[in-house]
Amino acid sequence: MDSTQNYNPEQLTATAFKVREHIIRMSTDGGCFIGASLSAVDLIVYLYNNFLNITADNLDDENRDYLFLSKGHDVPALYGTLAELGILETERLQNHLSINDHIYWHPNTKIPGIEFHSGSLGHLPSVAIGVAMDIKLRGGNNKVICILGDGELNEGTCWEAMLVANAYKLDNLIFVVDRNQFQANIRTEELIPLEPLADKFAAFGAAVKRIDGHNFDALHEAFSAYPFHPGKPNVVIADTMRGKGLPSIQERADRWFCNFSGDEIDQLLLELHGNHTTQLTSETLIVR
């Protein structure tokens, strides 16, 4: 089935909403990287529903597509999306941080649908090029996506991988940058500026598109143009907002990792639905 045929922005919006609810529920009893996760929700929901050929039924098929989540802090968004796709049992999300399951702070392959472990930044760009090279060697058509954080781009290995992807003309590879403008604790442009980011990738040989990472029409238009240029690796810079969907944590450096009380979770769920302003107390926040 070609998922690109079923573009339905209302459905995507509804799914993204559910994924955000899952993330909020994971941000208690030990917490999670909620701010970092919420920026990638729309991106991940779009890719799985309208671009990637990955379903609960084809995980063992070598002709399916691949998504590597190099920015490991986004994993609650991936857990939630995999649950909504029926790849991961939704009930398992309640096992977040349990010693009896494998739903923890970084991706791992014990979760169905997760391709590779991550958490140490700048590793998966090179793993992804290895997969893309093999697909080329075998004459396959599968697509390989690697989602990177913008802070992650500080790591030199991201740029080494870009050089190699260009040398090997990996036009089946797409680096997607979750450009939420934050490192862990600090705004990227204040600490280690990345701009002009599109020019940097272009100078490394990539075909680059820059879009609003929360706008499904923009995502659909960009990814429908894949491959962007024959023989060139593809890069999508998705401009996003840390904490998107929750005004009380949106774009705040100190709400990257949070561990909320049960009451606050209830308030945040109301806030997500747009009819409530959460009064968070700083005591409940843990910034790692």
Partner 1 sequence: MMNYEALLTETAWADDRFVVMTAENRALVRNMPATLGNRFIDTGITEQTMIGAAAGLALRGRTPVIHALAAFLTMRAYEFVRTDLGIANLPGKLSGFIPGFLSDANGPTHQAIEDVAIMRGIPNMTVFAPADEDDLLKMMPAIWASPNPAYTRINTRKTNYVHAPFELGKAEVVSNGKDVTILTYGLMFEQAMIAAEILEAEGLLVGVVNMRSLKPVDENAILNAAASDLVVTLEDHFVTGGLYSIVAETLLKHRTTANVLPIALNEKWFRPALLPDVLQYEGFTGKQIAERILGYQTAGDQPLILANEFAE
- Could you say whether residue 281 binds partner 1 (CB under 8 A)? no
48 or 104: CB nearest partner 1 = 104
- Could you say whether residue 156 binds partner 1 (CB under 8 A)? yes
191 or 218: CB nearest partner 1 = 191
Residues 161-190 that bind partner 1 (CB under 8 A): 183-186
Q: State the Cα–Cα distance between residues 55 and 123, nearest whole angstrom.
A: 25
Question: Minimal CA–CA distance to 27: which of 272, 258, 249, 284?
Answer: 258
Give 277: exposed, middle or buried? Use CB within 10 Å, 0-12, 13-18, 19+. exposed
Among 92, 117, 200, 276, binds partner 1 (CB under 8 A): 117
- In terms of C-beta distances under 8 Å and separation of at least 24 residues, what long-range contacts does 60-64 make, across chains too? 62/140, 62/142, 63/140, 63/141, 63/142, 64/142
Q: Which amino acid is at 210?
A: R
Q: State the Cα–Cα distance between residues 19 and 102, nearest whole angstrom.
A: 19
Stretches 80-88, 100-108, 232-240, 276-284: which one binds partner 1 (CB under 8 A)? 100-108
Cα–Cα separations (whole angstroms), residue 167 to 46, 164, 176, 206, 268: 29, 5, 19, 11, 47
3-state class (DSSP) for residue 258: strand
151 or 213: CB nearest partner 1 = 151
Among 18, 64, 102, 187, binds partner 1 (CB under 8 A): 102
CA angle 18, 23, 26 (to 5 degrees): 130
Residues 59-98 that bind partner 1 (CB under 8 A): 72, 97-98
Tokens of 27: 């941000």
For the CB of residue 74, give the shortest distance to partner 1 in the complex, in Å: 14
- Could you say whether residue 191 binds partner 1 (CB under 8 A)? yes
For the CB of residue 130, give the shortest distance to partner 1 in the complex, in Å: 18
- Could you say whether residue 288 binds partner 1 (CB under 8 A)? yes
- Could you say whether residue 125 binds partner 1 (CB under 8 A)? no
- Could you say whether residue 118 binds partner 1 (CB under 8 A)? yes
Q: State the Cα–Cα distance between residues 120 and 154, nearest whole angstrom.
A: 12
For the CB of residue 126, give the shortest distance to partner 1 in the complex, in Å: 13
**Interface positions with partner 1 (CB under 8 A):** 30, 72, 97-99, 102, 104-106, 108-110, 117-122, 151-152, 154-156, 183-186, 191-192, 287-288
